[in-house]
Structure 1
Amino acid sequence: MTEKTRLKRVSETSELEVQFKLSLLDDTVVEQTEENEVFVFQVGDGQFLAKLDELLVGLEEGTRAKFTLMPEDAFGQPDPMNFQTMKKADFPEGMQLTEGHVIGFNTPTGDEIPATVYQIKEDEVVMDFNHPLAGQPLIFDVTVVKVLS
């Protein structure tokens, strides 16, 4: 193989086109590209988890790879400090509160953070402010379609 035909490898600063599927161990799809779609991004730009960027470095253009990420390399383990008990009266009247339902809360800086209804008590609701994927191992199935730079 000559130097000109050698396949490009992903570096720490490469811009890439990839096709990917991120799923749970039970095959529940978290996020994926559509069949004829590519996702364009630059390694290290924060669009992927840092560990995923790290796993892509060194792969050749055209390579398909499958990785399992443990929670520590993805969204971490649930933190008991991220469970907050709130009064039902603090929620808008008529809001449907069901366990597993995700609700967005505005922070003082104007950002929105999601929380999952963990438990409903008589006058209180326990909210889980951990990332919904905390504690979950993830499967990352990726094809490096093209290394652009």
Structure 2
Amino acid sequence: MLMHGNVKVVLVAILLSAMVLGCASPTEKAVTAGDLVYVDYTLRDTAGKVVETTNSTVAKENGIYNVANPYVPYSFIVGSNSHPIKVFDDVVKGMKVNETKANITITPDKAYGDYDASKVVTAPLETVTGNATNFSVFVNETIRYNDELVYVAAVGPNNTTAKVVRLSKISPFQPYTIKINENDTAVLDYNHPLAGKTLVLDVTVVALNQSPSAT
């Protein structure tokens, strides 16, 4: 069907306007408090070594890839203080989707906190028994034994005994690291491995769901 030239121009203008309006999505809006944001980030120490990342490629390239890590964007509500890296709230405010901020220096108080010596505990190893049918355990694994959470430090012959640390007796939380001493004791460190360290952050906002009050 033929149409008048002026009508055609008007229709094209309407279509272009619709496309422009369609681009004015949350991706063009800045992050504010209360928004749910998804970010990819990489943390390095002050020597430039990558110590944490949400990017699997970066992890592989830097020798820290862990098959148990899903490597997906980290999500949080801005201003909720629901994440260990406290500086995230301030860094992402005002950012837009696909925007990146790089080389942001973070002091320990804004990251994983200062190292706290009181969070290091020495605990005895205890020997527990079982049998080959119901006591299949492995060294360095954490299991539930008699309704307790225990860490397996050593396994005896035929898998019938094990030396363990009774974690449930010490704290409701699991330690980040456990070191076994020769005198049948274990040193449990509840500090995050990055506690006390100054870090360098690269962060990219990959998605944004704005709070109702921001729309």
TM-score normalised by length of structure 1: 0.69
| Counterpart residue number, 1:88 | 125
Q: In angstroms, what is the RMSD of aligned CA positions? A: 3.4
| Counterpart residue number, 2:167 | 105
Q: Quick check: 1:56 aligned with 2:96?
A: no
| Counterpart residue number, 1:22 | 43
The higher radius of gyration belongs to 2
Q: Secondary structure at the match of 1:81?
A: helix
| Counterpart residue number, 2:54 | 32
Higher strand share: 1
Q: Secondary structure at the match of 1:12?
A: coil
Q: Residue 64 of structure 1 contacts residue 141 of structure 1 at CA under 8 Å; is this kept in 2?
A: yes
Query: Which amino acid is 1:43 matched to?
Result: V
Structure 1 unmatched ranges of 5 or more: 96-102
CA distance in 2, matches of 1:44, 1:104: 37
CA distance in 2, matches of 1:27, 1:39: 20
Share of identical aligned residues, percent? 24
CA positional deviation for 1:13? 1.3
What CA deviation, in whole Å up to 9, does each residue of 1:26-74 have, x standing for no partner? 4233231346x64444323424633212211122333210222111111
Q: Residue 104 of structure 1 contacts residue 115 of structure 1 at CA under 8 Å; is this kept in 2?
A: no
Structure 2 unmatched ranges of 5 or more: 1-20, 58-71, 128-150, 156-164, 211-215
CA distance in 2, matches of 1:114, 1:64: 33
TM-score normalised by length of structure 2: 0.51
